[in-house]
Amino acid sequence: MPELPFKTVPEIVGPGPAVSAPPPPAASRIAVASLVGTTIEYYDFAVYGTASALVLGPAFFPSGNATVSSLAAFLTFAAAFLSRPLGVALFGTIGDRLGRRRALVVSLLLMGVATVGVGLLPTYETAGLLAPVLLVTLRLLQGVSMGGEWGGAVLLAAEHAPPGRRALFASIPQAGPSLGFLLSSAVILPTLNLAGRDAFTDWAWRIPFLLSTVLVVVGLWVRSTVSESPVFTSATGGTTQTQAAGGTPQAQAVGARPKAPASVPRFPLGALLTRYPGRLLLGVGAAMGGSAVYYLTIVYSLSYGPKELGIPQNTMLTAASVGAAAGIAITLPVARLADRIGRRPVMLTGAVGCVVWAIPMYASLSSRDIWVITGAYTIGLMLLALMFSPVAAFLPELFPARLRYTGASAAFILANTLGGGFAPLVATWLNSHWESPLVLGFYSGALCLLSLLCLLALPETRDHDFTS
């Protein structure tokens, strides 16, 4: 079935009243609720990424070769990305058929269980081969959770947004990955400094994982209090539309949910691959370069700098944290600009900047100077924000409401898997052959160039009808 053209005029979606955005205060609360959950999920993911760079290799994959041990730890990091497509299929089906909010609550609960489980695991010294097997299993569960997190969070915010502010509201949960990393650093750095490197390697690395229990409880409470997306309920004939159309009080009183109409595919992922393959592939490519920059900076370089270049661990964590904070600081202004002039001009600017800056950014590691590295990382992650702030609205706008959760999730998650999940693994292999940080710049720069070409092939989506 050929791909349908973009619509720039309203479309009637079955019977029922037109969808109207909630008042700004309510929309703002929902956007913040999405941000809280996304921050917690990415905190869990960032804690594992940092721990894999610092201690998980020797603890779960002991080897006489430091490179082999690091490769094994980063393979478990990549394993979570391999299971993300399963999360897209699972939570995309839940989100497109049963509701965005329900999918988000389940995904956060799954992530919390898996993360706390990692903090309770025995090491290889205690349990032998069972230890890495359990670690990989929990990582796979984390990946399934992440497969449903991003799409649901940005959709809940975007579909509640007032007219003309969709990119702004969608970008609020988009700050979650960097906030999650900063939160993980705020826990890991004091723990590392107070306990000392030996104690941290021995037992204190578990503390950031176990603290996730408190965060997940807070996140579940916040997400359980938000309302369902009005776009979803209109497009699928959900409870909100039924009530507005005069549904029976008896059915509403017992909480009955009408069956999704035939227009909602039983298997949204299959329908997505059949109807919109080109749009999906280009969306994946558009986000791939930014994913590589993000994970090379906040995961791989935290291990590579100290082990290969002798840069102090605190220097790398400080540089990455300052850069992440700078990216967060411009996320909302960049999104507001994307609402005014369009998504593509802003994202294209960021893509060009990332291509040009990739080599200088990672070449800064050769200086081993905290100010040089921090400055280079700050510029790089601010350029990344130009790409990743508008993408939270751009990818959902590529797909119709009935497939939007699955479509946006699939595009972003596949980009994260191909561009980011394997980035530490590929970088470790590259640096085992060419011992220079320049290879990181060439690698990430090439993927950012691919993103630039994909963005040029995609249309502007700012005026796309989002209610259908």
User: What value, to the nearest 5°, has the Cα angle with vertex 224 and ends 264 and 248?
Assistant: 55
407: its two tokens: 């479509």
Q: How many residues does the chain have?
A: 468
> What pLDDT score was predicted for residue 135?
87
Q: Tokens 């807070």 — which residue?
A: 218
Q: Tokens 């009955």 — which residue?
A: 256
3 state DSSP class of 308? helix
pLDDT 10s digits, 90-109: 999 999 988 888 898 898 89
Residue 53 DSSP symbol: I
Distance from C-alpha of 6 to C-alpha of 337, rounded to nearest angstrom: 22
pLDDT 10s digits, 411-445: 999 998 899 878 878 888 888 888 889 999 999 99
Distance from C-alpha of 314 to C-alpha of 200, rounded to nearest angstrom: 14
- Which H helix or E strand runs over 152? helix 130-158
> What pLDDT score was predicted for residue 237?
62
Q: How confident is residue 241, by pLDDT bands cut at 50, 70 and 90? A: very low
First to last CA, the chain: 18
Distance from C-alpha of 377 to C-alpha of 292, rounded to nearest angstrom: 14
Domains and CATH numbers, the chain: 24-242+264-457 (1.20.1250.20)
153: its two tokens: 């969070």
- Taking 60 as the threshold, does the pLDDT of residue 373 lie above it? yes
Find out whether 167 and 336 touch, Cβ atoms under 8 Å.
yes
Residue 349: closest CA among 360, 337, 359, 364: 337
pTM for this model (two decimals): 0.79
Residue 206: closest CA among 124, 328, 122: 122
Q: What percent of the chain has pLDDT over 70?
A: 85
- Taking 60 as the threshold, does the pLDDT of residue 8 lie above it? no
Find out whether 303 and 53 touch, Cβ atoms under 8 Å.
yes
